[in-house]
Amino acid sequence: AQSVTQLGSHVSVSEGALFLLRCNYSSSVPPYLFWYVQYPNQGLQLLLKYTSAATLVKGINGFEAEFKKSETSFHLTKPSAHMSDAAEYFCAVSDRAGSARQLTFGSGTQLTVLP
Amino acid sequence: SAVISQKPSRDICQRGTSLTIQCQVDSQVTMMFWYRQQPGQSLTLIATANQGSEATYESGFVIDKFPISRPNLTFSTLTVSNMSPEDSSIYLCSVSVTGSNEQFFGPGTRLTVL
């Protein structure tokens, strides 16, 4: 069984500031971890993924996430927020031994970027 | 990656009617999935669409309510039957390729049931 917890359903950040979105997972086996972004009225876009290589993962548009096994976390960060980053962000976990069907999503974090 | 299109992009329907949503992928993929995203909620997997056989439904979802077809490796449909306002959601199609745990998502279909 696996699950994902995203702390903070809403996060606000000032334009140009660093922000961090939290994700903690629970998995009985080594996981794959993903961050997706959903812009208004659109589908989900993959930002980055952890699949057991480097623990610090770099994604598109300056996003990064660090896999910390001891903390069972995979928090998403970006050093400088842009207005275009305003969106909903979903963390997801997959059982490495299973198929893509085993993808489990967190409840999402809505990011607001303040001018 | 894969490019996924869905039709319609949105619709407003009357209670008791049915709507069929189409999902088209630009390449042959191994797995196709249908998700529901209720207002303000995360994604919930409805079913895995299997080519040439019955879909695999998740707990809480049944074929009579959400019949699914997948006639080939690039196309699938989801029907929302006998709709009620509680079916108002975004319905998303996603795909995965062989050996990958990664899913690519379509733009979604925004359904409102009056």
Minimal-distance CA residue of chain B relative to A6? B42
Q: What does the alpha-carbon distance between residue A72 and residue B78 come to, in Å, rounded to a whole number?
A: 36
**Facing residue for B31 by CB, picked from A42, A100, A107:** A100
Q: Which residues of A touch B107 (CB under 8 A)?
A: 42-43
- Environment class of residue A34 by beta-carbon count within 10 Å: exposed (0-12), middle (13-18) or buried (19+)? buried
Q: Which residues of B touch A110 (CB under 8 A)?
A: none
Contact A75, A22 (CB under 8 A): yes
Contact A41, A58 (CB under 8 A): no
Residues A64-111 have pLDDT tens digits of: 999 999 999 999 999 999 999 999 999 998 876 556 667 889 999 999
The C-alpha of B17 sits at a distance from chain A's nearest C-alpha, in angstroms, of 24
Q: Is the pLDDT of residue A44 over 70?
A: yes
Residues B59-82 have pLDDT tens digits of: 999 999 999 999 999 999 999 999
Tokens representing A102? 């085993």
Residues A7-21 have pLDDT tens digits of: 989 999 999 999 999
Disruptive mutation site among B3, B5, B41, B42 for chain A (greatest number of A CBs within 10 Å) = B42
Residue partners of A54: CB distance under 8 A and separation at least 6:
none
Q: Which pLDDT score, from 0 to 100, does residue A108 have?
A: 94
Looking at residue A36, its amino acid is: Y
Q: What does the alpha-carbon distance between residue A99 and residue A82 come to, in Å, rounded to a whole number?
A: 35
- Beta strand pairing call for A64-68 and A10-14: unpaired
Tokens representing A99? 């198929």
3-state secondary structure of B87: helix
Q: Which pLDDT score, from 0 to 100, does residue B53 have?
A: 86
CA distances B96 to A49, A50, A86, B23, B32, Å, are 14, 16, 27, 13, 7
Tokens representing A56? 């610090």
B11 touches chain A (CB under 8 A): no
Q: Which pLDDT score, from 0 to 100, does residue A43 have?
A: 85
Pairwise pLDDT comparison (B97 vs B7), residue with the higher score = B7
Instruction: Name the least confident of A97-101, A104-108, B54-58, B92-96.
Output: A97-101
CA distances B52 to B32, B71, B80, Å, are 12, 6, 20
Looking at residue B92, its amino acid is: L
- Looking up tokens 């489990």 gives A104
The C-alpha of B83 sits at a distance from chain A's nearest C-alpha, in angstroms, of 22
Q: What does the alpha-carbon distance between residue B22 and residue B109 come to, in Å, rounded to a whole number?
A: 9
Q: Which pLDDT score, from 0 to 100, does residue B109 have?
A: 96
